[in-house]
Structure 1
Amino acid sequence: MASRKYFSIVIYAFILGAFANTAFSSLSRDYYDYSCPNALSTIRSVVEAAVQKERRMGASLLRTHFRDCFVNGCDGSILLDPSPTIDSEKSAVPDFQSDKAFKLVDEIKEAVDQACGKPVVSCADILTVAARDSVVALGGPTWEVRLGRRDSTIASRDAANANIPSPFFSLSELISNFKSHGLNEKDLVALSGGHTIGNARCATFRDHIYNDSNINPHFAKELKYICPREGGDSNIAPLDRTAAQFDSAYFRDLVHKKGLLRSDQELFNGGSTDALVKKYSHNTKVFRQDFAKSMIKMGNIKPLTGNRGEIRLNCRRVN
């Protein structure tokens, strides 16, 4: 009886794995070559112009893609506005103040639809490509994005709150969270390197600078001017010392106990990820290579393909 139960579990796992592989295999690099050959160049042009105007936009697009993929897969659900039938992920705590990124996606969508002559490119694909182009615009690596994702017709605020990693997580919580999305410890460290660009709000790092011991005291003192014990929740600080440039300074900061977020410093705090952080801190080439590989892996989490989902006419609402 026990062996039959074990066999059933194995078969179930095999079916799930086969389904996931089928979804990924239906994505392709040339998906829009016939229906809209100018799609990718149009996305790149809008992203480059936006990042040149305000470099923080690159980090915003990257974070939005990350959060989209961590909530039921890379399906554009994070872009849906609240409605009587949509429990929008935009109202989830981790997505507070992402409005500029959503507006830029709207701008990209409009430009792409105009270039294509009709809506043929999904919002999920637009966000995935825009995240890659943002990293490149800030001096980071490029990678191949396979295309053909379709857009979700549902969203879940509860799923966003439950699945997006918290800035207060311990290392074990981070590892467990990433594992639940099919990502390993190397992916965790490499993707966390995305914090080499952008800023964080005082509310996300206050506990770390006032209550934790694994932080450089001079660094903590500087941050306390930005982030008082009371008030100033929306005051911002850079995630690393070169927050407008994609580099490996983030990892060097961690080695010197200058991680802005508690979850950042957890990656270099006497645990299993210390060695990889140290490696990336002095080998930017390896970090760039691993980051690109992990972005490909993350971008292929549970895509909607075939007849599932839709191609939204407006990224903010279902058709």
Structure 2
Amino acid sequence: MSRAVVFDTFGGPEVLEVREVPEPHAGPGEVRVRVAAAGLNPMDWILASRPEAAEQFGITVPSGFGYDFAGTVDEVGDDTTGFAVGDRVHGGALGRAVADFVVVSTAAVPPALFRTPDGISDQVASTLPVAGLTAAAALSVIGVGSGDTVLIGGAAGGVGVLAVQLARLAGARVIGTASESTFAFLRQLGAEPVAYGDGLAGRVRALAPDGVTAATDLFGTETAETALALGVPPERISTIAAGPNPPGGVRATGGTDAEPDALKRISDAILTGDITVPIAATFPIERTREAVALQAGRHVHGKVVITL
């Protein structure tokens, strides 16, 4: 038997339970990973609390919990190539990540499993699949590069902290929306913070009188609508949480739109010190409810990680 976080009904953190479950094993074309850490994302608690969202991803109850994980391959199925017992890996397993073991196909398209480089901890690696790919996609679809002034909405969140740093690495000036309590934190990452809420357009104009050239909204639609009002062309504005039909014809995107080498580029930048991954808090699996409550509050600076 092994441990896994599961839920039988949709609801808040209180529906999540740590249970003994049968130990899974790798079949043909699969590997089993002994999970060391699982990074939380907003989508995790949304899928556990909103049946309509879960349905879109094919999740029914009872279900496991979480997506991002990192650990070590400890079992390789028949006809499996590319990975061996002992390999350190990170990746995604929808509705199954917060568990002692996850079984992952090595033939998934897009890939669901990536090697973890020496020098990157399992905790850091477990934060990268969703946040890293999403941040990379949000910037690449709007072509952020040198000379841009980019407005990033939700800059202090798990995706935002990576988007800020990726944009800076690309040579852009970054203005990031956040609560005032995170301003010092964002300045450390190279962003110029601005408070979200009523009057955002005016505050951005004051910071960037020559204008904003691109924007990505990582929280809802306020930043996208502000960018449109500031005259940013819709094709240079992206959203990740506004649904398939965002306002004004701006570009809806997500991790599946990231370039194939996006995670490797992020990992390389972490190893060289050009990107840091702020981990706001870690919790053992027995305290998953507390971890989810903290993450769902949307006020953490960086990522929340569950350790196993």
- Both proteins in one fold, TM over 0.5: no
TM-score after normalising by structure 1: 0.27
Higher helix share: 1
Q: TM-score, normalised by structure 2?
A: 0.27
**Whose strand fraction is larger, Structure 1's or Structure 2's?**
2
Q: Higher relative contact order by CA 8 Å / sep ≥ 6: 1 or 2?
A: 1
